[in-house]
Structure 1
Amino acid sequence: MPQPKKRASRKLLSQHAWITLAGGFAARHCLVEDISASGARITLDEDASQLPGVIRMAFARDARTGRSCQVVWRRGKSAGVKFL
């Protein structure tokens, strides 16, 4: 029987970051609650249901930096992202 996949270990972070939408504009503030090698949990100032499927997240407001992410779940003002 194959071993069940283990989730990457998450590290509590509570660090401010910015997400940008396609085209690199409309930077929005978020808080990275926890992070792992494969993804993160973020909290927004608004309802996360409005997030598109793919975003870019950076710890600096500079849109040229950061990582592309796929939004994998949304609950209220929180969302889970997987790094692409």
Structure 2
Amino acid sequence: MAAAKKREARKLLSQHAWITLEGGFAARHCLVADISTSGARITLDEDAAQLPGVIRLAFARDARTGRSCQVVWRRGKSAGIKFI
């Protein structure tokens, strides 16, 4: 019998952050609603359908910081990301 995949524990955060696109430009503000060691749920000011498949998330506006992320789902102004 296969073991059920256990979801990482998420921590409620509500912290402001920035998304940068490929090349380190076009910083967009977002709110990190919750976070775990493997990913996070973010909320944008605009429709999340506009996000590309890979983004960089940082808690400072400096484009040299942050983590690369893959967008795994989009619903309205929210998106789920996985750290890569």
> What TM-score, normalized by structure 1, do the two folds share?
0.99
Letter paired with 2:22: A
Please list every run of 5 or more consecutive structure 1 residues that lacks an aligned counterpart in the other structure: none
Runs of 4+ in 1 over 6 A off after TM superposition: none
Two-structure CA RMSD over aligned residues (Å): 0.4
Alignment partners' CA distance in 1, 2:56 and 2:63: 8
Q: Where does the alignment leave 5 or more consecutive residues of structure 2 unmatched? A: none
Provide the aligned length of Structure 1 versus Structure 2: 84
Instruction: Tell me the percent identity.
Output: 86
Provide the TM-score with structure 2 as the length reference. 0.99
Q: Residue 76 of structure 1 aligns with which residue?
A: 76
Aligned-residue offset at 1:68: 0.1
- Greater strand fraction, Structure 1 or Structure 2: 2
SS class of match (2:25) = coil
Residue pairs, 1:1-80, within 5 angstroms: 1-80=1-80
